Each structure stands twice: as structure tokens, then as C-alpha cells.
A and B are shown apart, each in its own frame.
Chain A
Amino acid sequence: EVQLVETGGGLIQPGGSLRLSCAASGFTVSSNYMSWVRQAPGKGLEWVSVIYSGGSTYYADSVKGRFTISRDNSKNTLYLQMNSLRAEDTAVYYCATLNGGWFDPWGQGTLVTVSS
């Protein structure tokens, strides 16, 4: 069964750092385009970042320079390193596989709360 499970969310103070993990099963992370999408409380979906199978990475302007997407092929796991966190980064963070031009499957999400 194809599955994505995110972990690593929590409460963090503004300016702090957090690393999210997304463990995949049923397929190989490194052979796919993998992405992070977030959703602020009560708001819509916002694309955050993507890593291509070849290793190229891209970011939304809102997180460029602060967030880093990466993967560990040996662990079949996707990561999102988030630095210099701001209140507006508070959201549920989903990892998803980017197939062609669509996201499928999605993980269940992990909540990141940036607050003092």
C-alpha cells in the first residue's frame, strides 16, 4: 500500500527551527517528485516546495532562503528543514507525491505552530 506519514510538527517560538519528516512506503521517494504543501488554520492550500527525482529543488517565494527540502534515499524519507520560523508559517504541513501535474497521494499532515 502506498502511504506517506509525516512527523516532526509541534510548537516552536518565532525565529526557531524545526525539521519535518515524511516516511514513504509502497514506493521509492527518490524515483518521484516529492512536495510539501501547507494549510494555515481555516485557510486554503499553499504549495511550499518540491524536490525532483534528479535532485533539483524549488520553493515558494514565501519560504525561499528559510526552508530546505531534502530526502534520505536509504530511509525512503522526505524532509523539510524550516529555519527562522514566523507566525505566518503556522499551518498543517502535508507531504505529497507530485505525479505529472497533480498531487497523489498525500500524507495525513503534521501541525506546526509558531508562537511565543
Chain B
Amino acid sequence: QSVLTQPPSVSAAPGQKVTISCSGNTSNIGLHYVSWYQQLPQSAPKLLIYDNLRRPSGIPDRFSGSKSGTSVTLGITGLQSGDEADYYCGTWDINLKSVVFGGGTKLTVL
């Protein structure tokens, strides 16, 4: 059971938009910045979003992040087949004194 809660899977058609939620509490998301990672099949995770909404250089603006209270959301527009991957949110938990991740969301582009 992960500390941060993500939906196990989401799907949408090419060109459409999808959102992935990540829910926590006041000891983690409510206090700290959140990052998002994309893990393509058989690959290492890759940073997608940091500080809730910032994109590293090289990440297209089709990817966006937002935060409200103790939840964050990853948005992906203009879906492409290459976006099929597992997506993870992560942050620090002040009570657990540990980095915590969501359980991951598998994105399927129909």
C-alpha cells in the first residue's frame, strides 16, 4: 500500500488529453513539492515534472503539473503512442522521514 494514491490505470485516444491524480496528506503533499516520473517499458524512470509544475529542459509543454491542497495532477495533452508508460509521483513525508512514491499509473494510448 503506497503512501501516495494514484489510479492504477488511465487511457485515452491519440491526440486527446489525460490527467493522472496523486493524493496524499498534510505530512507529504500538503507540505512539500512533488515530482513526477515517466517510466517507459524496460527503462529507468525519467524526471518529467518537479516542484509541482516545473518542466526540466527537453520535456515538451504537452506535460503539465498542478497542485491543490494535498493532491497533485499530471496532465498530458496531444497524446502520442510514445507516451505509453508508467507514471509515478513522489515527495518527502515529514512524519515518515522518507521519500514516498505513488503506486504508479499505467497510461494506455488506445
Contact = CB atoms under 8 A, between A and B. Distances in A.
Given A44-B101, A47-B98, A94-B44, A103 B2 contact: no
A108 B37 contact: no
B103 A102 contact: no
A109 B46 CA distance: 12
A100 interface: yes
Contact of A104 (B34, B56, B92, B99): B56
Interface residues of B, number: 25
A27 to B, nearest CB: 15
Interface of B: 2, 32-35, 37, 44-47, 50-51, 56, 88, 90-92, 97-104
* Majority SS at the chain A contact face: strand
A45 interface: yes
A60 B101 CA distance: 13
A44 B103 contact: yes
Contact of A60 (B88, B90, B98): B98
A50 B90 CA distance: 15
A35 B33 CA distance: 18
10 contacts: A45-B45, A50-B99, A61-B98, A94-B45, A100-B33, A100-B50, A101-B34, A103-B47, A103-B90, A107-B44
A72 interface: no
Given A37-B45, A45-B101, 5 more contacts: A47-B101, A101-B51, A103-B47, A103-B90, A104-B50
B54 to A, nearest CB: 9
Nearest to A104: B47
Contacts of A52: none
| Candidate in A60, A94, A101, A102 with the most chain B CB atoms within 10 angstroms | A102
